[in-house]
Structure 1
């Protein structure tokens, strides 16, 4: 069982004050105390996919200072373990300049108890960046399935952790999706390592076993069914708050960038399974921000401004630009249209496609001046835009794959093409209508396509584009520079949703 909380209407959204909305009370088991011995109690704080130390949405949500304020308050009430489920070092504009050093400094300051790797920990092309961040960490890193290229553990990274809190021996194992391939990293099988580590932790006397995971929810659910020895899965990778249950385990994921965190109250009897009560807490303007942590945020912002140099306007937008992941990973968005149009027009292609995960701003940008720094935040990865010539059948296969990727960073935003999907149809048969160049898609006709080098290389599963024979000589240029050129050429933009992507029966 899983619930995507906002979609299910169980959590009213990201913009609420602390503790607003529903309180989720979930007990794995209700075990009577042995004699008169009361259960031992501790609090777990869980968060995931944290990219911007200063907060988001005009700094009204998230940020390291609000996390520190929450932890400070909870620690006055009893023992607390703060656990992080991956995606920290990248991507953000600040991390592009400082290699994620600001994130480590922030989590050191709030007293994180354990972290695991997310796929974006390996965005750095050189291992030296990751090794430097591991050395700087004053908190333990745990990973049961990630190793260096030679199979040895990364320095200071343990396959498991046992920590006593509130008189309870808490065991933590940790698992990461093998999504990023770098010469310096290798992966062990997720399921096998999870089973081995769960058994090892129980033999070591762990009374509460937690799997800290950076996996898709479907894999978390499968793990829970397969691992009766795990009490709680604290997950990441998805960026919206979710709750699931399978087997004996409760599964929790918070909203990205500290918009929300899960607070879990654990009562552990002498015998029997722990009782877990979980509530989703919004880190908004009502959460106190300790002055030292506010100053840390401000200091890093000042360093970033000095590094980037003076900002400058590049265009006027007459429309609010929707860069939210909740839009771009699920449906057509006007910022996705603007970026795809820039690639198509500046790259001189018939069609352009950009994955929603390449647009990183994750905010609704208000109408007004668009600046150079904002463009850098929109396209953080600085991919190259390549020019391909692909048959219509291959373009159609990519659109079909985009339907399967809905809800993830692989969902496509389009220019020069339209698609209509039936999401109720079986996988592989969801694309019902497709156009390119203003006419129905012709399977045998070649089309010029501008897309990111990541996608052209088979990233996010777009292996249909990865044939060398499709590559045209000369790429279109740097993605950020193409968008800047497009905006400067137009001077004024008002992108809108145009029905480029439709869902039939909705």
Structure 2
């Protein structure tokens, strides 16, 4: 991979936007009272002379920023002694390389975050995110087992109970897969435990112990064993994390280092802190705790790369994986190893795909993808389209210029098969209402085509749902019937559907019709655009009442 000026410029250009968007648009959030307002300024708090230092990352699907995480960790270690390195889950899947290596490349590179890929890292812990169970059939248990045993760090699975092969032997088990751990850092006894969401299960999992029960029991046990500080490494929603601190009293962990949301969070509940960093290690959270009084803490969000140079050893490892992937991927197509840089089309404008934006607002890339989906069924009468932003996995903006195969294959980490459904105006309103719930950058947010609405974050409402027609906008009636295009993930009730349980395959107009693949239709659209390229824009389909900008609705 190339650590060039373009990537650095794009990454650094997101720094202030990430900080400001949340708190300018959501000033009532508790997080805004504690977020630092410069990339390396800690919020107020008592920092002891020798604090306990914790470095947190979460939801890392790409390797790009891990060399900077290594440099940051090394720098902290030089000045602050032992540093507890925590990853709050979601990393094995999905990504372009994981389509071929099933997360092996992620584990291998993470093994180098202590500077030695062959030595076990006693101070690094990871927990399961829902994406660790992407390969969820019984036959995939050995695959997860392999990823764990390849890891030169510990996995925490406090509330994940795997099925047994025989008494005393589970389908997934390893010496470095632990229910909890008591370690000593800078002379402080620290207990670590975990809690993972049950939003995605697997056939080899017997059950998820309710997080409240698992955290209460394990936290109490760790304190009885002498833990001075207890840290929960979680992959839960912010609401679930808050509930742990609100309801567990003295059994609550002193710190929750979390994931699942993809944007930074720093919230205090009853004096204890919840911290989450930005996805893909675009930031890391550095937490400092006073072991004598753990409620006295500070958090610093460090934007990466920032002032940090990439660690040469980690870069070398990533380059090896990239070269191996290019050789295999391109070789299967009978092409040179440079096939991933093959130009597929052009864009005349910057395309906005960074997650904090595409999972919260209308974007020009989202509009173009939704428009492409809708027009793919225009001859069948499709009026509207909606796609969940969680299926758009690029998480970086693309500058005006060439679009290559790596862009496209990274954007579509999952198959995105399209179907046309018939639904009522009332059902569409329910869909939109779900899209705006827990508006913190979730994958359920929709990019839309053919309709518009107003989103009021303060009231949590979606209003003035309107159809865009050649004659202009008109209100959508609850009892009218609409033809909509969406992706089959939102229709497949055997999965989690991103919570869109009001949808289903029973709504498909032509269930026997072969499904179109959105990636194929996007490639066709790029080719049709020719040398002029595409030039999508934000039109005001989704009007955020707290954010100035174009709006189709009055």
User: Which TM bucket (shorter chain)?
Assistant: 0.7 to 0.9
State the shift of 1:20 in Å. Answer: 4.0
Q: Does 1:304 align with 2:304?
A: no
* Cα distance in 2, alignment partners of residues 26 and 211 from structure 1: 21
- For the Cα contact (< 8 Å) 2:384–2:448, is it kept in 1? yes
* Alignment correspondent of 1:110: 113
Residues 127-142 of structure 1 correspond to what in structure 2 (within 5 A)? 127-142=141-156
* Alignment correspondent of 1:23: 42
* Cα distance in 2, alignment partners of residues 505 and 170 from structure 1: 43
* Alignment correspondent of 2:466: 434
- For the Cα contact (< 8 Å) 1:352–1:414, is it kept in 2? yes
Which of the numbers 342, 348, 369 marks the counterpart of 2:402?
Answer: 369
State the shift of 1:40 in Å. Answer: 6.4
Deviations 1:450-471 (A, max 9, x none): 1111111251111111152545
* Cα distance in 2, alignment partners of residues 326 and 258 from structure 1: 13
- For the Cα contact (< 8 Å) 2:163–2:171, is it kept in 1? no
Q: Does 1:449 align with 2:451?
A: no
* Alignment correspondent of 1:280: 301
State the shift of 1:153 in Å. Answer: 7.6
- The alignment partner of 1:288 has SS state of coil
Deviations 1:26-84 (A, max 9, x none): 349x9xxxxxxxx864322111111111x2xxxxxxx2211111222222331121111
- For the Cα contact (< 8 Å) 2:141–2:172, is it kept in 1? no
Which of the numbers 518, 529, 551 marks the counterpart of 1:479?
Answer: 518
* Cα distance in 1, alignment partners of residues 222 and 487 from structure 2: 44
TM-score by structure 2 length?
0.80
Distance 1:374 1:462, change over 3 A: same
* Alignment correspondent of 1:495: 536
Deviations 1:201-246 (A, max 9, x none): 1111111100111111121111111223311111111122211101
Deviations 1:109-131 (A, max 9, x none): 12351100111111224334322
Deviations 1:258-280 (A, max 9, x none): 122122233323xx556433322
* Alignment correspondent of 1:35: none
Deviations 1:161-204 (A, max 9, x none): 11112121110110111111332333221111111111111111
- For the Cα contact (< 8 Å) 2:71–2:310, is it kept in 1? yes
Which of the numbers 269, 272, 287 marks the counterpart of 1:246?
Answer: 269
State the shift of 1:256 in Å. Answer: 1.5
State the shift of 1:494 in Å. Answer: 0.7
- The alignment partner of 1:163 has SS state of strand
* Alignment correspondent of 1:33: none
Distance 1:41 1:26, change over 3 A: closer
* Cα distance in 1, alignment partners of residues 515 and 538 from structure 2: 25
- The alignment partner of 2:111 has SS state of helix
* Alignment correspondent of 2:72: 70
Residues 224-239 of structure 1 correspond to what in structure 2 (within 5 A)? 224-227=245-248, 228-229=250-251, 230-239=253-262
Higher RCO (C-alpha under 8 Å, 6+ residues apart): 1
- For the Cα contact (< 8 Å) 2:130–2:201, is it kept in 1? no
- For the Cα contact (< 8 Å) 1:208–1:274, is it kept in 2? no
Gaps of 5+ in 1: 31-38, 56-62
* Alignment correspondent of 1:88: 91
Q: Does 1:121 align with 2:156?
A: no
Residues 1-20 of structure 1 correspond to what in structure 2 (within 5 A)? 5-6=19-20, 7-8=22-23, 20=39
Distance 1:136 1:504, change over 3 A: same
- For the Cα contact (< 8 Å) 1:399–1:431, is it kept in 2? no
- The alignment partner of 1:86 has SS state of coil
Distance 1:442 1:276, change over 3 A: closer
* Cα distance in 1, alignment partners of residues 519 and 291 from structure 2: 52
Distance 1:5 1:204, change over 3 A: farther
State the shift of 1:379 in Å. Answer: 1.3
How many residues are paired up?
477
Aligned residues: CA RMSD: 2.6
Residues 35-434 of structure 1 correspond to what in structure 2 (within 5 A)? 41-53=51-63, 55=64, 63-77=65-79, 78-111=81-114, 113-125=124-136, 126-149=140-163, 154-156=172-174, 157-185=177-205, 186-227=207-248, 228-229=250-251, 230-269=253-292, 273=294, 275-309=296-330, 310-311=339-340, 312-348=342-378, 349-404=382-437, 406=439, 407-425=441-459, 430-434=462-466
* Cα distance in 2, alignment partners of residues 50 and 469 from structure 1: 35
* Alignment correspondent of 1:464: 502
TM-score by structure 1 length?
0.87
- For the Cα contact (< 8 Å) 2:455–2:544, is it kept in 1? yes
